[in-house]
Structure 1
């Protein structure tokens, strides 16, 4: 299985009159995310399912990916919210083995969670070494059997500027 960790696009700044979960993509964030999505299509990417955080900015990013044709399936998971936990996500999404081995799964979420998740999958622990830029993507191949923690392999790490 290949898992693509995708950070949401540029969103509104934090403000006292806007709840964090309701912050939307800015015009620039939407445009950059659309360009990144178009480039991924041009590179022949396709995801079997895109799973998004329930927060508005992540959902809008996922909807842009869907609209560009990168997938036809969209799901939401609270595990991808800023307080999400990789162990819970693995238990709920991967342990049941609901997906065939050749599945390409895109997860749209937030920092620092996505970078931490990548590090845990790669090294078994978070080292605060990876940083995923807004609208950037990390691709990780999970092992066919056994726990993916500390046993996965990164094959893609791209900030959006290399896709624009």
Structure 2
């Protein structure tokens, strides 16, 4: 049975101000609405993750919790992993490889360029720079999470909030 990973780039965040650390940036109201739109879209596609992993940065954290609410995932169960903030694509792969074998569907929410690199690494597809709030769905046939690596996945779909609002 295939396993599925949803790679999500955090939605639109406030611009970095001189007095503000990058880590502390929050989603804008447009970003919150975009995350909700993405969550509703995923729910409509029957997406019900067994696990949601996220960077602890507020913009990723809010994106993860808004999407969790929309897909019916218990927000208190979202796992925040420190290394997903500035840990590079390797940190994302380590988090994925550590998922339990019983997990069929997982979601990981983080930052560019790491999430775009991860999607391209796993699928060997030209993804480009994922837009804010975008999702890339990747399926893996006959693998467990510990075996997920470069070129082992197939891209099922890629979509961003602007595409959803036009559907």
**Smaller-chain TM-score range?**
0.7 to 0.9
Q: In structure 2, the residue corresponding to 1:14 is in which secondary structure?
A: coil
- Give TM-score, length-normalised by structure 2: 0.83
Q: What is the CA–CA distance in structure 2 between the aligned matches of 1:26 and 1:88, rounded to whole Å?
A: 26
The residue correspondences of 1:112-127 to structure 2 (distance < 5 A) are 112-123=113-124
Q: In structure 2, the residue corresponding to 1:29 is in which secondary structure?
A: helix
* 7 and 89 in structure 1: CA distance in 2 versus 1, 3 angstrom threshold: closer
Q: What is the CA–CA distance in structure 2 between the aligned matches of 1:41 and 1:147, rounded to whole Å?
A: 25
Q: Which has the higher helix share?
A: 2
1:77 aligns with 2:78: no
Count of aligned pairs: 158
- Give TM-score, length-normalised by structure 1: 0.85
* 77 and 115 in structure 1: CA distance in 2 versus 1, 3 angstrom threshold: same
Aligned to 1:10: 12
Point out 4+ residue stretches in structure 1 off by more than 3 angstroms. Answer: 85-93
* 68 and 92 in structure 1: CA distance in 2 versus 1, 3 angstrom threshold: closer
Q: What is the CA–CA distance in structure 1 between the aligned matches of 2:133 and 2:95, rounded to whole Å?
A: 25
Structure 1 regions of 5+ residues with no counterpart?
none
Structure 2 regions of 5+ residues with no counterpart?
none
CA root-mean-square deviation? 2.1
Q: What is the CA–CA distance in structure 2 between the aligned matches of 1:155 and 1:138, rounded to whole Å?
A: 8
